[in-house]
Amino acid sequence: MSIVYNEKKKTFSLHTARTTYQLKIGNLNYVKHLYYGATIHDEDLIYLIRRYDRGFSGNPYDSLKERTFSLDAQPQEFTTQQQGDFRINSIEVQNGDGSFSFDGRYVSHKICKGPFTLKGLPTPFAREEDTVDTLELTIEDAVTKVRVTLLYTVFEEADIIMRAARVHNGGAKTIALKRIMSMNMDFMNGRDLDLISLPGRYGQERQVERQSLTHHVHKIRSGRGISSHQQNPFIALAERNAGEDYGSCYGFALMYSGSFLAEAELDQYDQARLVMGINDRLFSWDVAPGEDFDTPAVLMTYTHKGLTRMSQNYHNFFRTNMNRSKFVRDVRRPVLINTWEAAFFSFDDVKLVEIARAAKDMGVEMIVMDDGWFGKRDDDNSGLGDWYVNEKKIRCGLTELVRQINDMDMKFGIWFEPEMVSEDSNLFRAHPDWVMEIPGRHAVRSRNQLVLDVGRKEVQDYLIQSVNRILDSANIYYVKWDINRAITDLWSNVLPAERQGEVFHRYVLGLYRVMDGIIKTHPDVMFEGCAGGGGRFDPAMLTYFVQYWSSDNTRPLDNLKLHYGSSFLYPVCSMGAHVSEASPMVPLETKAAIAMCGTFGYELDATKLSREQIETCAEMSRLYHKYYDLNFFGDYYRLSNPFEQVNLVAWETVAKDRKEALVTVITVNLTMNGPQEYIKCKGLAPDTLYHLEGGGSDLVVSGMALMHAGIPVPREIPEFTAFLYHLKALEDQ
């Protein structure tokens, strides 16, 4: 078992392949957090906690006037409320009598095989070859009978621990949850920890910021109803000296697609506390007697081998345990061309066939018909919600159009934005009450559209039925699922006034039900997510979508930073990336090399390319397939930091058996008569000889030399040149 309970010492030790997480039933049955780090034996680490009389720190009444025991200074697994702990907390509940108090103490536990599941919320799955165990530990308030079950699933081989919480109202009156976090983590010594997050904005998603924890509350949050362009539901805590290859790093990724919150605080004694879960702003949830409330899951990982190993733990897990679609591993994804930047709303069936015919010579295997094919949709002022084919544009009908594309031996994809509605639409005219709009106020428009109340079952049923009708009408291979605005005007016409704080979370639960009814009922369709680019790129989405459109910004040099930041959590095979007409000064070869640090495709009008450009694209499409397994399934290494690197940016993917690798180098600022630049590889077998090919090189070099001496990058070259260095172990020649 990966979970060991020592009944005598009352300790729980959770073991992954390389880590241990320990908690303990301590004084007065409060559950204490003792350790998370490199593997240790099942010894009791309670000796790490030293108790002192802390001035102005209250003591539980039943501590019998023991002034050295205060929850204000004790490391806990899940916090109390109004029990003397004044740090950021895990729960805020208003009880049936109006009081705000929760005094959770251990009452029971059980250990079982397999991962826990959550009602209405996505969680990873266990493969047959995985060792997966779950601890369910329950704490209870003896007065109110409110219980919180702390859920821990250990994915042993993956070095991943999944956490969540389940609240049960065992009392006689309804309670209102004002705040409920998925997890709480206390660090006994936090003064040397840095917080790494992925902030951004539209078109510049998942940039990287690193800051030292200070004696303040650091908040990473989205209040936009989606996980957002501005923040991502992931943070890492790393030792001050930790880098890519060394140092302790803790990763925390929330599996939730709505408004979220992560808070980190360095307290008065230099202890650190982190909580993560649903954003409590504009949130309240009533739990009636006998009912439960489940929080979304958090995926945690630890390593003492630096940020690269932390990222690889997540990459491996996302590729194997998050999404059951055959397109994750078993079916190679095609090179696609999307029509948006080629035609925007101005296209018809003839234009689409012309683009497909021209794109086929580029090595493109699928055309994706983007926005504008449905309802009365000639611009972004109308049509959303009317999911039927506009036969003034698609005059031959969708079924016939897809047949024509298939006859060219090409696949067909289609765009949807199910969650939104235009005021100028048949849907809005028939069901204006389905829109989120506060009574007596005009709703906020964004991209000239309004938000459907996806928390309502009749709205969910309409979306499932209308989208499925289109998918079942033709041989559709791919769907791009978009959402192009944040959520405002928080209101549901089917909830009473006192329960309007449930709207945000009900929306997310409703969205997951819609995706269950569409995506999981179409296993032969490849689904890609999009939210005005990367505005809802989060771990929960990757249980539904095999890939996510990283950003509407297709400028290649911007994407160097975007891919770098995304790689802290997300694998290459999940990042949608295309070659476009943006940044004409950057060569096509360089654009393609950058897009291969993603799922690869084209976002341009193939009918306007020269023969030379088409031949270049064909070669890059061929290289995409040549290096597909390396890029999608290999170990990823960040070889430079584009936020700091002046002259070039580089990354590397290495096969699991270390017999093959691909190093990509993008020159961004090679100054005249400057120094020679070298790129040092990582992850190779030191004593293996590799055939090095690319960048004018054709050499045999040892892994040790490549990692410690490096590869010299040519200098007398045009600006923004890309190099692909392919390494193959000699025994495979």
- Residue 349 falls in the annotated catalytic set: no
At 526, the pLDDT band (50, 70, 90 cuts) reads very high
**Catalytically annotated residue among 349, 552, 605, 635:** 552
159: left (phi > 0), else alpha (psi -120 to 50), else beta?
Answer: left
Q: What local confidence, expressed as pLDDT, does residue 65 receive?
A: 76
Token digits of residue 635:
């170990």
Is residue 54 over pLDDT 90?
A: no
CATH number at 636-732: 2.60.40.1180
Q: What's the Cα-to-Cα distance from 630 to each of 634, 685, 691, rounded to whole Å?
A: 5, 16, 16
pLDDT, mean of residues 701-718: 95
Is residue 262 over pLDDT 80?
A: yes
Q: What's the rounded Cα separation, in Å, for the pair 535 and 533? A: 6
pLDDT, mean of residues 357-376: 98
Q: What's the rounded Cα separation, in Å, for the pair 228 and 257? A: 9
3-state SS, residue 102: strand
Task: Write the DSSP symbol of residue 332.
Answer: P
pLDDT, mean of residues 23-47: 95
Is residue 645 over pLDDT 80?
A: no
Is residue 553 over pLDDT 60?
A: yes
Among 113-122, 252-261, 646-655, 667-676, the minimum mean pLDDT is found in 667-676
- Residue 552 falls in the annotated catalytic set: yes
The CATH fold of domain 326-452+475-511+522-633: TIM Barrel (3.20.20)
Token digits of residue 89:
């907390």
What average pLDDT does the structure give for the chain? 96
* Domain parsing of the chain, residue ranges: 326-452+475-511+522-633, 636-732
Q: What's the rounded Cα separation, in Å, for the pair 720 and 586? A: 6
Q: Which residues pair with 527 in a beta bridge?
A: 479
Q: What is the pLDDT of residues 111-153, one digit of tens each?
A: 999 999 999 999 999 999 999 999 999 999 999 999 999 999 9
Is residue 237 over pLDDT 70?
A: yes
**Catalytically annotated residue among 103, 141, 371, 482:** 482
pLDDT, mean of residues 300-305: 98
pLDDT, mean of residues 370-383: 96
Identify which of 682, 676, 703 has the alpha carbon closest to the alpha carbon of residue 638. Answer: 682
Written in H, E and C, the secondary structure of 411-477 is EEEEEECCCEECCECHHHHHCHHHECCCCCCCCCCECCEEEECCCCHHHHHHHHHHHHHHHCCCCCC
Q: What is the CA radius of gyration of the chain?
A: 27
| Letter string b/e over residues 155-192, b meaning 16 or more CB atoms within 10 A of that residue's CB | bbbbbbbbbbbbbbbebeeebbbbbbbbbbbbbbebeb
pLDDT, mean of residues 188-206: 97
Q: What's the rounded Cα separation, in Å, for the pair 674 and 659? A: 34
pLDDT, mean of residues 423-450: 96
At 483, the pLDDT band (50, 70, 90 cuts) reads very high
At 53, the pLDDT band (50, 70, 90 cuts) reads confident
Is residue 733 over pLDDT 50?
A: no
Q: What is the pLDDT of residues 602-617, one digit of tens each?
A: 999 999 999 999 999 9
Is residue 732 over pLDDT 60?
A: no
Task: Write the DSSP symbol of residue 409.
Answer: T
Angle between helices 588-595 and 556-566 (to 10 degrees): 10
Phi, psi (degrees; rounded to nearest 5) at 315: -55, -50
Token digits of residue 698:
């054709």
